[in-house]
Amino acid sequence: MLHRFLVFKKAFVVLICSFALLPDLSSADWVTELGLPGCIEISNGSTRVVLDPNIGGRVLIYEVNGKNILYNDAANEGITDGYSIQRIDAGRFDFGPTRVLPTRDLYYKGKWKAEITGELSARMISQVDPKLNVLVIRDFELDKNSSRLRCTQTLTNTGEEVKYLFCWGRTFVHGGGISLTPVNPHSRYPDGHVGYLRCDNQQVMIYQHEEDPNVRIRDNILETLGTTNYSKFVMDGEEGWMAYLSPEDLLFIKTFEFFPDKKYGEMTAATTSIWQTENKIYEIEPYGPLEEVKPGQSISFTENWDLIDYQFPDDMLPDLKFIRQMVSDLK
C-alpha cells in the first residue's frame, strides 16, 4: 500500500505540479540529432521531442528528463538514406490496408518536408507516390506543461478514384518491459487476441493459444513480458489506449479515439497490435478506422502520447487499477 502511495505521489507530481514550477523554456528549433541534419526539436524544458524528415517523417526522440523511450539502432546513426536501412526505427507511422495497397517505401523510407508551425508545434509533409496518390501530413504539438505530445496523421486522396484507407501508428520502444493492451471482454477472438507466427516465410494467424509464461490477461488487459511464442498480437479492444512500462522506469501511454460505428481495416478488424523481437524492441500500434476517401478528400487520426515516471515492478506485476485510473485522468 505504501509503495502504491509513493508511486501515485510521484506520478501526480510529474503530471500536475512540477511543470508549473518551471520557467518557460518552450522552444522549437532546427537541430542535427543522431547525425541526422534538418531535424526539428520541440522542448518545454522537461520533455524533448525530435522530428526527423530525412527518413519517413518520424519521431526520432521522445524523452522526459533525458530518458528517451524510443528505440534507435546505433548502427544507423548519421545515415540519411532510408533505402539503405533494412528496418526504420523510432516513432514511425504508416497507413493501410497493408497487404492491399502497394508498398509504401516512399512514405516509410523517403524524405519529407518539415516546417515549424508554432512555439511547440511542427509539421511534416510527404512526397506523393504516383502508384498510391496519397498525400500524408503529420502534425505534432507538445503541451507546454506536460509530456503530452499530440500526433495527428492526415491522408489526402490526390488521385481520381475512391480509396479505402486507415491511419496506423507503429512506434518502436526499448524492449525488456511490459506491454499493456486492453482486450475486449466480448471479443470476436476466442482468447481475446490473435497471435502471428512466422512459419516457412509465411505469417500464420493463430486464434487459440497454448499457455505462454510471458503472456497473461489480468483485468481485461493483455500483458506481454518479453519474448513470447508469437512475434505479433492483435486485439479488438474498444477502450482507446495502449501502454508500455519500460525498465528505465517510464510508463508510455497512448490514448486515441475508438469509433464503434466504423469498420476497422486490419485483416482481423483489430483496433490495436503489438510486435516484439528478441526482447530488444516492442512496437506499439493503434489503428484508425477504415474510411472511404473520395478524390480530394482527407481523413485524420490522432494519437496522444504521454511519458510518465513509474517505478518498474520487481515482481513484474504493475498495478493495473492505478494505471487504468491514470489513463482515465489523461483522456
What residue segments make up the domains of the chain, in order of their start?
2-330
Residue 71, number of CB atoms within 10 A of its CB: 17
The kind and range of the H/E element at 2 are helix 2-12
Residue 17 has pLDDT above 60, yes or no: no
Dist. CA 121–CA 119, nearest whole Å: 6
- Cis check: omega of the bond before 97, within 30 degrees of 0: yes
Confidence of residue 276 (pLDDT cuts 50, 70, 90): confident
The average pLDDT across 199-220 equals 88
Between residues 326 and 279, which one has the greater pLDDT?
A: 326
Q: Residue 252 and residue 310: Cα distance in Å, rounded? A: 9
Average pLDDT, the chain: 92
Q: What is the pLDDT of residue 23?
A: 65
Whole-angstrom Cα distance, residue 45 to residue 261?
A: 40
Q: Grid coordinates standing for 319?
A: 498495478
pLDDT at 8 over 50: no
Q: Is the pLDDT of residue 225 over 60?
A: yes
What digits encode the pLDDT tens for the residues 241-267?
999 999 999 999 999 999 999 999 999
Task: Determine the average pLDDT of the residues in 275-283.
Answer: 85
Mean pLDDT of 195-203: 81
CATH number given to 2-330: 2.70.98.10
Query: Quick one: pLDDT at residue 27?
Result: 86
Q: Which pLDDT score is estimated for 203? A: 81
Q: Do the Cβ atoms of 284 and 258 come closer than 8 Å? A: no
The pLDDT of residue 25 is: 81
Whether 12 has a pLDDT exceeding 60, the answer reads: no
Asked if the model's pLDDT at residue 50 lies above 60, the reply is: yes
Pairing verdict, β 272-277 and 91-96: unpaired
- Say which residue, 293 or 4, is predicted with more confidence: 293
Cα–Cα distances (Å) from 69 to 49, 66, 272, in that order, read: 11, 10, 19
